[in-house]
Amino acid sequence: MDAYCKEIQMSLEEEIAEPEEPVRILRLWKEKWELKKIGQGNQLLEAHLMSKYGGLKFCDIDEGNRVMTVIKVVFVKQRGKNAYHAFAALPGYDPTIGDHEPANDPYWQPWEINEDLHDCMRTYYETEEGKGDNVKVFNKGDDCQSEEE
């Protein structure tokens, strides 16, 4: 019996040795839940935004297509226009020191979450490097249901 099952056993061992990384879905538009009025900030919305954007990469097309990574979302309070922004960092950013320390200053930028950021993400995930990140990009109008909450 072992001689007949050897191929099956080998294929199972290969699957176990290389677990498949789950594909991450990226909807490149502001979903309905992202459009809610923020007020003084909302921890649930912040967590949901981090779940959607955290860890994603994008090409900063204004700075020679340097690749930045969203490491957190930050609340930006502006009169009549409170919003969450994506806090993006470059390699070399040190999270153990303050964001405004001179050593960290050239390595990060806040990005408003809007169509410009979505375009930069689209640009990155269309590159060969981005295609290897297991992120499936959907544009508005594609066959991908948005999460309502």
Q: Is residue 2 in some structural domain?
A: no
Q: What would the pLDDT profile of 18-53 be if each residue is shown by its tens digit? A: 556 788 999 999 999 998 877 777 888 999 999 999
Q: Is residue 147 in some structural domain?
A: no
Residue at 54: amino acid letter? G
Q: Is residue 3 in some structural domain?
A: no
Q: Which structural domain range is residue 61 located in? A: 23-139
107 band by pLDDT with thresholds 50, 70 and 90: very high
CA dist 145 → 29, 69, 77, 81 (Å): 12, 25, 31, 28
Number of domains in the chain: 1
Q: Is residue 56 in some structural domain?
A: yes
DSSP for 65-119 reads TEEEEEEEEEEE--TT--EEEEEEE-TT--TTS-TTSTTTGGGEEEEESSHHHHH
Q: What would the pLDDT profile of 128-143 be if each residue is shown by its tens digit? A: 988 889 999 998 888 7
Q: Is residue 36 in some structural domain?
A: yes
pTM higher than 0.85 for the full model?
A: no
